[in-house]
Structure 1
């Protein structure tokens, strides 16, 4: 068994979606003065590797904290979309999607995660691709870029209306190329909110 960390490090230098405030990781107590360390964090829930839930785009959508924990674990399916700026349903050719799968789209954008280029001309996912995932009954879509779409966020709305959660800002997907079988564990902090910061790990059998 091998574990691969698919999460970016969360720190004050990390990039945030244009218009969002930067994260603030601070020391609330230090060992030198108190004998112990306590850190504090102030950040939007969409910073770094995180999971979007239905409440992100629907006022009456379920909070991520109320999603059954079983939904955050599933068989992984890697879609190699490197070189593509538009990820269409043609990218799914040859993929066997099953109910409950976690589909990971690898664009290669994580290589420029710490650069301003990361948010410029980022790939997007088409409605046809999203509909194919909905038809297959997958549980989650994970991407190694910032967002599957742009305003008016039609892909977000389609996926989340079908209960398909969205993992954004993944990394290290290249380590899954050629792997025949793996599981994904995408566990968000249980905030009663529309999203959650997450540690995402792939387990290779």
Structure 2
């Protein structure tokens, strides 16, 4: 078995969504002066690789800390959508996507992370596909770009109202193209917040 990290590194200069506050990551104690090292992080929950919970854009009252661990791990399915301007339903999904899967969409756009283009020029998932994924009760929809939709965010609404979580800003999905027996682990902080920064790992044969 092999573990593949699908997560951006959090650092002082990590790009944030336009309009969001930049993160602050500071060393507040040093070994030389204090006998130990310590760092302080001040950040929103939608920085880098993160998972959106239903409370992010609906009236659902559940916080990340309230959601069961089973929602954050499961069998993964990789869908290659490179070059597509719109992510549409395919008949092949009827056999490739099963009840309770974690569906990862690979666009290759993670290579643009940190550029202005990354936050504006990305494909939307269609409402037809979002409803199909919701009907299949997939656990998570994961993307290597910033969002499954643009304002007014109809895809967020469809998925959240069906208890589907959204993973954004994944990396290294190209390393899963020939993977078999894919498992995904996307555990958030146990935090009283709508969403969470997250470490996402794939386990493959």
Q: Tell whether the structures are fold-level matches, with TM greater than 0.5.
A: yes
1:139 aligns with 2:139: yes
Tell me what 1:77 maps to: 77
Give aligned pairs, total.
Answer: 205
How much does 1:90 deviate?
A: 2.5
Tell me what 1:11 maps to: 11
RMSD: 1.4
- Deviations, residues 23-68 of structure 1 (Å, cap 9, x unaligned): 1101121112101111001111000000000110123331121110
- Distance in 2 between the 1:59 and 1:82 partners? 34
Within 5 Å, give how 1:140-179 maps onto structure 2. 140-179=140-179
Is there any run of 5+ residues in structure 1 with no aligned partner, and where? none
Against the structure 1 CA distance between its residues 47 and 92, is the aligned structure 2 distance closer, same or farther, given a 3 Å change threshold?
farther
- Deviations, residues 126-148 of structure 1 (Å, cap 9, x unaligned): 11111111111110000000111
- TM-score, length basis structure 2: 0.96
- Distance in 1 between the 2:34 and 2:85 partners? 51
How much does 1:151 deviate?
A: 1.2
- Distance in 1 between the 2:6 and 2:51 partners? 13
1:51 aligns with 2:51: yes
Secondary structure, aligned partner of 1:90: coil
Within 5 Å, give how 1:174-185 maps onto structure 2. 174-185=174-185
Within 5 Å, give how 1:115-130 maps onto structure 2. 115-130=115-130
Against the structure 1 CA distance between its residues 174 and 182, is the aligned structure 2 distance closer, same or farther, given a 3 Å change threshold?
same
**Is residue 81–residue 91 contact of structure 1 (8 Å, CA) maintained in 2?**
no
1:64 aligns with 2:50: no
How much does 1:152 deviate?
A: 1.1
Secondary structure, aligned partner of 2:20: coil
